[in-house]
Amino acid sequence: MNSKILLFVSVMLFLTVQKTHSCTNILVTKGASVDSATYLVYLNDGEWLYNLNQTPAKNHSKGDSLVYTSMTGIKSRVHQVSHTYAIIGFQMNEHQLAIGETTFLGREELWDKNKPLKYWELMELALLRAKTAREAIEVITSLVEQYGYGSEGESFSIADPNEAWVLELIGTGGSGSAIWVAMKVPDGMITAHANHSRIGEFPMDDPENCTYSDNVISFAIEKGYYNPDIDESFRFNNAYDPPTPKHIRYSESRVWSVYNRAAPSAGLTHKYSRGEGGEEGYPLFIRPDNKLSLKDVFSLARDHYENTEIDMTTGIAAGPFGNPNRIRPLSWEGDSIVYSFERPISTYNTAFSFVAQLRGYLPNEIGGVAWFGVDDTYTSCYFPIYCCVTQISKPFSMGDINSYSRESAWWTFNFVSNFANIRYSYMVKDIRAVQKEVENIIIAQQRSVEIEALSLDDSERIEFLTNYSVEMGKMVHNRWVELGDRLVTKYNDGYIKDYNNQIREAGYSSDWLNIISKEEGERYRVPEE
């Protein structure tokens, strides 16, 4: 990645964090999936336009170094390794290693803005230098040990074809390097985390499944975050990211929704996430009732709590067209009472998301797929990018947040999702129909594409899968351009029109009209004749 692109990515990621602190991660182990793949879901939420790029593998000279700048402008040199691997963005590398993150902030006094390495830089460095999840954890923790950690509390999802890990990391406020703990997701289980530290108690004598910094407990005692004489067993999240009702509501509702949909037999309720006293927090890992398919994983990323007590498509806040989107800020105060809308997994301000599909029984070039999408996951469309590609489809590698362009995939998808807000319940059906059609076609042909790729030698395979990934990106982008144009003509001037310009009236729902009748009936009442 050249210096200009790296600077752009770094700046935009910083802006994203500053604005929203908002991402969602899901991990599915190979024993919990239908196709024995490890899955990593990463939603990067924030108002910014992400240009996806590919960085080739490269050899480096002895003594080479990288320059990183802290939040306060301090420049530091970080040693370079002799060889770095090919990577796609800061999400996946050529060895089927994938990384996601979600910021949990934690104790703000521990954020040392003078330290150089921020979380997104650590993600990129891990992909450049590691082949496995365990190696990635070693890269990240070794770098912060040597150079320090320069951003907030962070929860990383790290996965390879065989293992999935959660690494939680926070700084020391300048008094050391960092505090961290990493736990392996047991095979056959899944986990979710969203802007809150999820690791509580952890085994101190099981290095195969859990590793941690030497100072993880002693530092908490020193700072007064944990008193072994009074407090119960040490819990990382209680010490370094103490929960508040507002925090729990914002974050744990998303965890509950994933668990509720994947493992309804567990009987978990949303009460804890609503701050109801006496309710226990959700487990770090859970076993799904049934193994999850690729489509199931896509579905988990597209959630507004539908068909639950907190379904965001219902109620007065959803308006006359069942719109689940809530304009920020989500919280407000009235008569000294604090209120808050729900924060769903699928949100209108998602910059991009991906579902990493990691399969160890296939060669790396074929086994690792980043199913990539931009903007709102509910109205977006995932297409495959194989981890060996040498080129990214142009619509997904270009664009400017301040300049609308139909050539940019981000703007194309963003237009469709925003336009749908006008008459959501009607338009979203059109959007989801195209989404289903396109994704079904791509998924159905995946096996035949991969069989053909297996028959080729290494160089031919890389070229074939690169061309395929590029063409799928172009196809998806073109379909959404067409979809946007169709929505503009179909839903116009309050009518719904077919291709022959036949007009029909389809107005507000009866539920909404009943609300109007109840609240302002006298205003609209027509006198009897």
Q: What is the pLDDT along the chain (529 residues), one digit of tens a residue?
A: 444 334 334 433 433 333 445 899 999 999 999 999 999 999 999 989 999 999 999 999 999 999 999 999 999 999 999 999 999 999 999 999 999 999 999 999 999 999 999 999 999 999 999 999 999 999 999 999 999 999 999 999 999 999 999 999 999 998 878 999 999 999 999 999 999 999 999 999 999 999 999 999 999 999 999 999 998 899 999 999 999 988 899 999 999 999 999 999 999 999 999 887 677 899 999 999 999 999 999 999 999 999 999 999 999 999 999 999 999 999 999 999 999 999 999 999 999 999 999 999 999 999 999 999 999 999 999 999 999 999 999 999 999 999 999 999 999 999 999 999 999 999 999 999 999 999 999 999 999 999 999 999 999 999 999 999 999 999 999 999 999 999 999 999 999 998 888 999 988 988 899 999 999 999 999 998 8
Q: Is residue 10 part of a domain?
A: no
Note the Cα 420 to chain centre separation in Å: 22
Q: Which of 307, 323, 316 is nearest to 514 (CA)?
A: 316
pLDDT the model gives residue 20: 46
- 413 with 273, same domain? no
Q: Do 400 and 326 belong together in one domain?
A: no
Q: Assess whether 366 and 480 both reside in one domain.
A: yes
Round to whole Å and give the CA distance between 425 and 363.
43
Token pair of 274, please?
Answer: 């609503």
Same domain, 148 and 281: yes
**3-class secondary-structure state, position 183:** strand
End-to-end, the C-alpha distance of the chain in Å comes to 75
- How far is Cα 487 from Cα 418, in angstroms, rounded to an integer? 11
Residues 366 and 295 grouped into a single domain: no
336 with 366, same domain: the answer is: no
Please check whether residue 231 lies inside any domain of the structure.
yes
| Inside any domain, residue 383 | yes
- Give a yes or no: residue 509 inside a domain: no
Domain that holds residue 303: 16-340
What pLDDT does 21 receive? 56
Neighbours of 273 (CB within 10 A): 25
Neighbours of 165 (CB within 10 A): 24
Name the DSSP class of 383.
E
My answer on whether 330 and 366 are in the same domain is no
184 with 294, same domain? yes
Cβ neighbour number for residue 518 with a 10 Å cutoff: 8
Task: Judge if 212 and 107 occupy the same domain.
Answer: yes
- My answer on whether 167 and 305 are in the same domain is yes
How far apart CA 140 and CA 211 sit, in angstroms, is 13
pLDDT at 112: 95
7 domain residue, yes or no: no
Let me know whether 294 and 399 are in one domain. no
Q: Residue 5 CB: number of other CB atoms within 10 A?
A: 13
Q: DSSP class of residue 73?
A: S
Q: Is residue 11 part of a domain?
A: no
By the 8 A CB rule, do 212 and 202 touch?
Answer: yes
**Domain match, 23 and 115 both:** yes
Please report whether residue 418 resides in a domain. Answer: yes
Task: Answer yes or no: is 354 within a domain.
Answer: no
The strand pairing partners of 385, in sequence order, are: 370
What is the count of structural domains for the chain?
Answer: 2
